[in-house]
Amino acid sequence: MTDIGVRKIAGHIGAEVTGIQAGPSLTADHVRAVRNALLEHRVIFLRDQHHLDDAGQAGFAERFGDLTTAHPIVSGLNSDERIREVNAQRPGGKASFWHTDVTFVDRMPAITVLRAVTLPPYGGDTTWANTVAAYETLPAEFRAFADTLWALHTTAFGNDEHLGGPSARDHAPDKKASPFPLFETEHPVVRVHPETRERALLLGGFVKRILGVSASASAQLYARLQQHVIRLENTVRWRWAPGDLAVWDNRTTQHYAIDDYGDLPRVMRRVTTSGDLAVATDGRTSRAVAGDASRYVHA
C-alpha cells in the first residue's frame, strides 16, 4: 500500500491526507485508512485531485456508503442526480451560515464529499466546527441537561420563530417566506455517533426551536449551545485551491462557506452518503414531522 500521510492542521479538527488518488478504484486498505482519518479528524482534505470528474467523485464517495440523491429540495446535475452543483451565482448557492447538511430530514447524510470546480481569485474559504469537542467541553451539568433536549429542524427559513438567524433565512431566495418544500424533523440535541459512540451536538442553522420549553428559553438555549459549537478553538478554516477535495463526517461537524468574494464565480460539486436516524443518549431516534425524504435517502 502506498504510504498515506495524515497531517493535523488545527488542534481539534481537520487534517490533510496525502498519498491518496481519490476515485472508485481505491483499495480496501486505502478506504479503511481514509475512513479512520475521517473519524478521528472530522474533516480531511486531499490536494491535487485534478483527475476527478463528476463520475470519479461519485465513485469515490460510494466507497464509503450508499449515495443519496443530490438534495431533497434542490435538484442535482441533469447528468447525475446524485451530484449537487453548489453555484454561488444561483439562488441558494452560498451556504453562508453555520449548519450541518440536510438536518431537516430524519436521515441526514453521514459523509459529504465536496470538490472545487471554479474558485474566485480571493476569498471563498470554508470553515468547519467539531461538534464532539463542543459537547465534551460543556460543563458537566449542562452536558447532562443537553442530553435530554430535542430540537425541530426545518426548511421554513422565513418563519420568525426560526432560530438559525438572519443568515439562514437569507439563504432562501425569497427572504419573506421559504420557497422550498416543507421538511421538518425532530432530532435529539445530543446524538450518539453510530461508529465511534461519541456524543455530538446536533444543531445549526436549520433549527426552528428547542422543544418542550418556552420560546424565550428555546432561543437562549440555542444561542448558548450554538455559540459554544463555533468557538474558534473548535474550528478549522480551509483555503481552497484548484484540485482540492474535502471530505467530512456530517454527524460530528457544522460548516460555513464564507461569503467574502462578492459576485465572483464559485462552483463546487457535492456528493453525500446515506445516514441513519440520529440516536439520542436514551436510545430514542429522530422523527420526521413533515415531508417524505425517502427518495432522497438512497440514490
Is there a catalytic annotation at residue 143?
no
pLDDT, mean of residues 4-12: 96
pLDDT per residue as tens digits for the range 211-259 = 999 999 999 999 999 999 999 999 999 999 999 999 999 999 999 999 9
Q: What is the DSSP secondary-structure string of 210-231?
A: ETTS-HHHHHHHHHHHHHHHT-
Q: Which of 107, 162, 255, 266 is catalytic?
A: 255
Q: Which of 42, 84, 99, 209 is catalytic?
A: 99
The per-residue pLDDT for 73 is 75
The answer, yes or no, to whether residue 53 has pLDDT greater than 80, is yes
Q: Where are the domains of the chain?
A: 5-93+109-129+235-273
Provide, rounded to the nearest whole percent, the portion of the chain with pLDDT above 90. Answer: 78
The per-residue pLDDT for 267 is 96
Q: Which three cell numbers stand for residue 72?
A: 431533497
Question: What confidence category does residue 80 fall into, taking pLDDT thresholds of 50, 70 and 90?
Answer: confident
Closest by CA to 217, choosing from 209, 208, 228, 207, is: 209
Gap between the Cα atoms of 172 and 35, Å rounded: 33
Q: Which three cell numbers stand for residue 151?
A: 430540537
The per-residue pLDDT for 235 is 98
Is there a catalytic annotation at residue 99?
yes
HEC profile of 108-142: CCCEEEEEEEECCCCCCCEEEEEHHHHHHCCCHHH
Local structure of 297: helix, strand or coil: helix
The per-residue pLDDT for 174 is 44
Gap between the Cα atoms of 132 and 111, Å rounded: 16
Q: What is the DSSP secondary-structure string of 23-51?
A: STT--HHHHHHHHHHHHHHSEEEE---TT
Pairing of strands 245-249, 43-46: antiparallel
pLDDT, mean of residues 250-275: 96
The per-residue pLDDT for 3 is 83
**Phi, psi of 69, rounded to the nearest 5 degrees:** -75, 175
Gap between the Cα atoms of 87 and 77, Å rounded: 11
The answer, yes or no, to whether residue 156 has pLDDT greater than 90, is no
Mean pLDDT, all residues of the chain = 90
Q: Going by C-beta distance under 8 Å and a sequence separation of 6 or more, which residues neighbour residue 216?
A: none
The answer, yes or no, to whether residue 103 has pLDDT greater than 50, is yes
The answer, yes or no, to whether residue 210 has pLDDT greater than 70, is yes
The answer, yes or no, to whether residue 93 has pLDDT greater than 60, is yes
Question: What confidence category does residue 298 fall into, taking pLDDT thresholds of 50, 70 and 90?
Answer: low
Q: Which three cell numbers stand for residue 244?
A: 482540492
CA-based diameter of the chain, in Å?
56
Whether the CB-CB separation of 19 and 3 falls below 8 Å is answered with: yes
pLDDT greater at residue 90 or residue 66: 66
pLDDT greater at residue 173 or residue 181: 181
Q: Which three cell numbers stand for residue 135?
A: 459537547
The per-residue pLDDT for 177 is 47
The CATH topology of domain 5-93+109-129+235-273 is Double-stranded beta-helix (3.60.130)
Indicate the range of 85-89, 133-137, 167-171 predicted with least confidence: 167-171
Q: Which three cell numbers stand for residue 13?
A: 479538527
Gap between the Cα atoms of 206 and 172, Å rounded: 12
Is there a catalytic annotation at residue 101?
yes
Q: Which of 54, 80, 101, 249 is catalytic?
A: 101
The whole-model pTM stands at 0.92
* First CA to last CA distance, the chain: 31
Count of positions (residues) in the chain: 299
